[in-house]
Amino acid sequence: MSVIDPVELAAELIRCPSVTPQDEGALGLVAARLERLGFACHRLVFDDPGSEPIANLYARYGSGRPNLCFAGHTDVVPPGPPESWSFAPFAGESRDGALCGRGAVDMKGAIGAFIAAAGRFLAARGDGFAGSISLLITGDEEGVAVNGTRKVLEWLRARGETLDAAVVGEPTSAEALGDMIKIGRRGSMTGRLVVEGVQGHVAYPHLADNAAHRLVALLSALTAGPLDAGTEHFQPSSLQITTIDIGNPATNVVPGEARATFNIRFNDRWSSDALKAWVAERLAAIGARYRLDWAVSGESFLVPPGPVSDCLAAAIAAVTGRTPELGTTGGTSDARFIQACCPVAEFGLVGHTMHQADERVPLADLAQLALIYEAFLDRFFATGGIASLRSQ
Ligand SMILES: [Zn+2]
């Protein structure tokens, strides 16, 4: 069985400029490596009307249970202005002990590390391995995520294929590799508020109804106090106003319409419906004619500590000596779709430079991450790990 170097594979992936929705050969590269290890690969292209066609990959080694799935994405965010980078974002060079380029941290590095780990695990286990290892790799995580993980999960369900547990390779470490596993994520929703008043002359305000004044009062009501104080595994929920737009060029006209947008990141104390009701109540208490459109990008979720996070924590401790915090901070991820199918935890590199110019990862971290994933596979497939999962 071929030995895979995580740094080399990650570098090759970085050289595919796979900015969502482009693939540029990234998934083909992953599939070729996995086929060499004995995985059966399914390339899945989904193209819902009205959205870009997206390439995805589901690969599986073995046919037994449990089926442990590593989930990730090969797409990356755009590099932005080239002059803000001190190296070429898609060259995949190593310099000063770090692998440099867009996707090094989020998350081509983790994909390289997991495939290297799976190769070593299967080489050591030989033919005695009775479970399955699968990979669900999407090209649509950084974009709208319509034709990605969610569609692959539907495809798996239709085939009667079961995932028993999953690890998502997002960059969850905060300061040092292994200091944080994520066991849930906050929900996210955006409200677009349009307040209607009556336009008029500023010198005759009694004949007008100032939409700006009403908007300010409504927004004050929404931001007057905290939504909650946090819960056992979550930070407090937070409502942030992101823009206020009146667009009135005249100094002598009372505006008849005013708009604002706000985003709420919410913990497991809330559902999006409960928050909609909370906001409606606050706005009603002030009073105004308004329209409010909501876009919910994800509900909050929590996977209580269990076999996946336990095995990950033990593997991290064995390789790094660190005890990871079980966190729920940060933005949303595809774990929000997977948690509806099976227990999931997220673990990957230190996220400092993700989505930034000069994204890079220490070579030592990539090597250690591969060791952690390998130690995780060992623990997960050891009799105790499986038994504890089945008893769930
Ligand atoms: Zn990511």
Look-up: residue for tokens 């929404």? 222
Q: How many CB atoms lie within 10 A of CB 1?
A: 12
> End-to-end CA distance of the chain, in Å?
35
Look-up: residue for tokens 């960059």? 171
Centre of ligand 1 from the C-alpha of residue 108, in Å? 9
What pTM was computed for the model? 0.88
Centre of ligand 1 from the C-alpha of residue 331, in Å? 10
Locate the DSSP E strands across 310-355: 325-327, 344-346
Looking at residue 384, its pLDDT comes to: 44
pLDDT in tens, 319-377: 999 999 999 998 888 999 999 999 999 999 999 999 999 999 999 999 999 999 999 99
Look-up: residue for tokens 């083909």? 28
Whether the Cβ atoms of residue 348 and residue 369 lie closer than 8 Å to each other: yes
pLDDT in tens, 36-93: 999 999 999 998 877 788 999 999 999 999 999 999 999 999 999 999 999 999 999 9
Centre of ligand 1 from the C-alpha of residue 74, in Å? 9
Looking at residue 267, its pLDDT comes to: 96
Residues with CB under 5 A from ligand 1 (ion): 106-107, 170
Q: What single letter denotes the amino acid at residue 266? A: F
Tokens of 313: 């924590």
Q: Which residue has the higher pLDDT, 127 or 4?
A: 4
Identify the CA nearest to 347 among candidates 107, 56, 100, 135.
107
pLDDT in tens, 91-117: 999 999 999 999 999 999 999 999 999
Looking at residue 387, its pLDDT comes to: 52
pLDDT in tens, 143-181: 777 889 999 999 999 999 999 999 999 999 999 999 999
Q: What distance lies between CA 79 and its chain's CA centroid?
A: 18
Looking at residue 386, its pLDDT comes to: 54
Q: Which residue has the higher pLDDT, 355 or 391?
A: 355
Which secondary structure element, helix H or strand E, spans residue 322, and what is its range?
none
pLDDT in tens, 276-327: 999 999 999 999 999 999 999 889 999 999 999 999 999 999 999 999 999 9
Asked if residue 17 has pLDDT above 60, the reply is yes
Whether the Cβ atoms of residue 365 and residue 350 lie closer than 8 Å to each other: yes
* Cα–Cα dist 258/325, whole Å: 43
pLDDT in tens, 186-228: 999 999 999 999 999 999 999 999 999 999 999 999 999 999 9
Angle between helices 363-381 and 109-125 (to 10 degrees): 40
Q: Which residues are catalytic?
A: 75, 141
Centre of ligand 1 from the C-alpha of residue 259, in Å? 32
Looking at residue 391, its pLDDT comes to: 47
Looking at residue 127, its pLDDT comes to: 74
Average pLDDT of every residue of the chain: 94
Centre of ligand 1 from the C-alpha of residue 141, in Å? 7
Looking at residue 392, its pLDDT comes to: 47
- Average pLDDT of 250-254? 96
Centre of ligand 1 from the C-alpha of residue 255, in Å? 42
Asked if residue 141 has pLDDT above 90, the reply is no
